[in-house]
Structure 1
């Protein structure tokens, strides 16, 4: 029969065994390379553990361990991709731009847990706070941007602005999360008619820019040609200037030499200048040397003698034959 002492001993042994089991299973824990842990003592966060391996702690319920991942998470805003299928949520992505146009914008946010204690205890649902902060940041930046920037070349700047604003909000909420990257997936117009109209406007703008670029190239070409012609004219003018200066210097030198000759032999120089002037003014005129002897003016007919000399030479050669 069971006695009271025996019952007490049995219950005590069972209780002690349960304690030993609890101590044996709750005094150690392991941390993987992709994990990080937080030790909690009577509900108070003691320290964080990031080194992988086997670790020991006080048994439950004195200390407990919360393990979190160190990997990078992706927050999909406006859509959900699962098993290769994409499900869109247009009500989340519909927003108004700064120039009062409606666009559909979705994005993905890369984030990770950098402070496990704050992530666990500073907020009840930190991922929901992150989602709402992402929505607020995107709507704020899109609301201050033009539709052209959102649809074309301004996406990179919008992404950077959203990332900065989202990082500021997350830091303000102090939920132990860090934002790594923000990437716009799609920015679209709400329907086909609006898309077609915007495409036509974009094509017209591209054509305008092409024409402006072509006009700029033609202007630069003509400007360079004009500058080249200007340089050539200036160079020719400089050459003409130098040539005229040298010619003038030569004329001055000749004049100085004539002046010296004139001062030495004025009569001879005067006659020489008259003859040279006549040759220049009347290049085809016949010049005769005349001699004034008393009342009768006689001259020496040079030109007729020049014409007769070849005939005389010809006749003499015929007689010799």
Structure 2
């Protein structure tokens, strides 16, 4: 085989290889869950977020870096091995609360890549930077929170404050990441002895709260009863007041009427008032008014007329005519 033929075959092979490289490096696809950064001679040139078949200049002129649009989850304080077993990092998760207790806290940070170019070029390892910022944020928030909030009903507030602080740090680092949420997985005391002591304190505090609530309930009950009694007394007094006022009005009307009668006929009215007064002072007594002069004694009985006694029924066998004959 001649040298010319060998060169010809080699040229054809190189040309075929170039064509193959061009064919495989000119076209690329973007999936629905992907975003692509086109890099021209090592410099970010364009970001593609629409899915489909795309065209670019062949390598080594241009190349693409594909990044996911999904929401990532970064674990802080623990991890999971290939078998699904959890691996905890106690040195990483131990932190001091605002009232100087030691707690162990781990959490999950959810985040997305919102600016691919910054994610690729503004930090050597954005995930490591996110991990460090998470550690700084959770330690800062836990360090300013009492242990009761960290272990009981203050977790939601701690999560919100940690998310805000972490978001501020990530914005400062400007690495193209957006923090979507922070979720505390577990916050507990470091060992069983401390947990038992804290549980006893918590139980005592809950007992105290229960007793206080019961005392307030009893206080409110007694206050309501006293208020009811007071209202009843005030209502009765108001009714008695109204009754006395109406009675006084009636007495005034009676007095005015008597006064008019007295003005028209003083003697008769005076005697009538005397007799009515005697009836009220001596109820049921037999009162006679007599004269002291000579002659026939005259008296006036001041009493209601007596009713005639009922007549006894006739005896059996006794006739009315026989009685008349016996008289």
Tell me the TM-score normalized by structure 1. Answer: 0.91
Contact 1:291–1:297 under 8 Å retained in 2:
no
User: 1 CA distance for matches of 2:306 and 2:37?
Assistant: 134
Alpha carbons of structure 1 residues 300 and 319: separation in structure 2 relative to 1, 3 Å: farther
Q: Look up the SS of the partner of 1:64 in the other structure.
A: strand
Q: How does 1:114-263 map to 2 (within 5 A)?
A: 114-263=114-263
CA displacement 1:8-46 (0-9 Å, x = unmatched): 544443333222221111100011112111111111111
Q: Look up the SS of the partner of 1:288 in the other structure.
A: strand
41-50 or 9-18: bigger deviation: 9-18
Q: Look up the SS of the partner of 2:197 in the other structure.
A: helix
In the alignment, does 2:63 pair up with 1:64?
yes
210-219 or 86-95: bigger deviation: 210-219
Q: Which residue of 2 aligns with 1:33?
A: 32
How far does residue 292 in structure 1 lie from its aligned partner after superposition? 4.2
Q: Look up the SS of the partner of 1:74 in the other structure.
A: strand
User: 1 CA distance for matches of 2:300 and 2:263?
Assistant: 33
Alpha carbons of structure 1 residues 221 and 182: separation in structure 2 relative to 1, 3 Å: same
How far does residue 232 in structure 1 lie from its aligned partner after superposition? 1.4
Alpha carbons of structure 1 residues 169 and 301: separation in structure 2 relative to 1, 3 Å: closer
Q: Which residue of 1 aligns with 2:91?
A: 91
How far does residue 81 in structure 1 lie from its aligned partner after superposition? 2.0
Q: Which residue of 2 aligns with 1:280?
A: 280
Q: Which residue of 1 aligns with 2:315?
A: none
Q: Which residue of 2 aligns with 1:300?
A: 299
Contact 1:288–1:299 under 8 Å retained in 2:
no
CA displacement 1:179-235 (0-9 Å, x = unmatched): 111111111111111111110111111111111111222222222222222221111
Alpha carbons of structure 1 residues 308 and 236: separation in structure 2 relative to 1, 3 Å: closer
Tell me the TM-score normalized by structure 2. Answer: 0.89
User: 2 CA distance for matches of 1:163 and 1:85?
Assistant: 27
How far does residue 265 in structure 1 lie from its aligned partner after superposition? 0.9
Q: Look up the SS of the partner of 2:58 in the other structure.
A: coil
Residue ranges of structure 2 left out of the alignment (5+ in a row): 313-319
User: 2 CA distance for matches of 1:23 and 1:72?
Assistant: 34
Higher helix share: 1
Q: Look up the SS of the partner of 1:184 in the other structure.
A: strand
Q: How does 1:105-116 map to 2 (within 5 A)?
A: 105-116=105-116
Contact 1:290–1:297 under 8 Å retained in 2:
no
How far does residue 6 in structure 1 lie from its aligned partner after superposition? 4.9
Query: C-alpha root-mean-square deviation of aligned residues, in Å?
Result: 2.4
User: 2 CA distance for matches of 1:302 and 1:18?
Assistant: 155
Contact 1:68–1:116 under 8 Å retained in 2:
yes
How far does residue 309 in structure 1 lie from its aligned partner after superposition? 7.0
216-225 or 162-171: bigger deviation: 216-225
Q: Look up the SS of the partner of 2:283 in the other structure.
A: coil
Alpha carbons of structure 1 residues 309 and 180: separation in structure 2 relative to 1, 3 Å: closer
